[in-house]
Amino acid sequence: MIELYGWLSLQGSDSTELESDDFSDVVKKSQGILSSLKWNDISLEVQNGTPYVLVALHSNHRTKETEEILQLFKTLENALPQSYGTLFLIEHDEAEEINHSQMFVYAAGTVDSKSTPFRTDNP
């Protein structure tokens, strides 16, 4: 089973505000990227003047949607390098034991990833 949870706060510049042209450009660029997806259960939301993407996916196995979400976050971060957020990928084996978990951190136009210590057993 695959679990994928994440959020990305979309930023155009340090001074993006709700009424600014920069904000409008961020929203338009983000909507364009999101509308190109084959998997369309991801939406762009705005809260307190900040656009963001929030995603959760549960699947029996790694699918095209999984890869598309991973690529989406990279694409948004590259297009809007002031954006920031996290994405967790957790893969379970047949017995529901976690056999791989990874955290992606998006900030300042870069994507860093590392293994995470999620475990299904209690030490």
State the pLDDT at residue 16.
Answer: 45
Please indicate, yes or no, if residue 89 is contained in any of the structural domains: yes
Q: Are 74 and 93 in contact (CB under 8 A)?
A: no
- Confirm whether 122 is domain-assigned: no
| Within a domain: 120 | no
**CATH number, residue 100:** 3.30.70
pLDDT at 86: 94
pLDDT at 121 over 60: no
Q: Look at 5-14, 37-46, 49-58, 70-79 and tell me which has the smallest mean pLDDT.
A: 37-46
DSSP letter for each residue of 54-105? EEEEEESS--HHHHHHHHHHHHHHHHSTT-EEEEEEEEE-TTS-EEEEEEEE
Q: What pLDDT, in 10s, does the model give residues 83-110? A: 899 999 888 876 666 678 889 999 887 8
pLDDT at 28: 79
pTM here is 0.74
Which range marks the domain in which residue 100 is found?
2-115
Predicted local distance difference test score (pLDDT) of residue 40? 56
Query: Which residues are bridge partners to 55 per DSSP?
Result: 6
Per-residue model confidence (pLDDT) at position 122: 47
Mean pLDDT of 34-61: 79
Q: Is residue 17 part of a domain?
A: yes
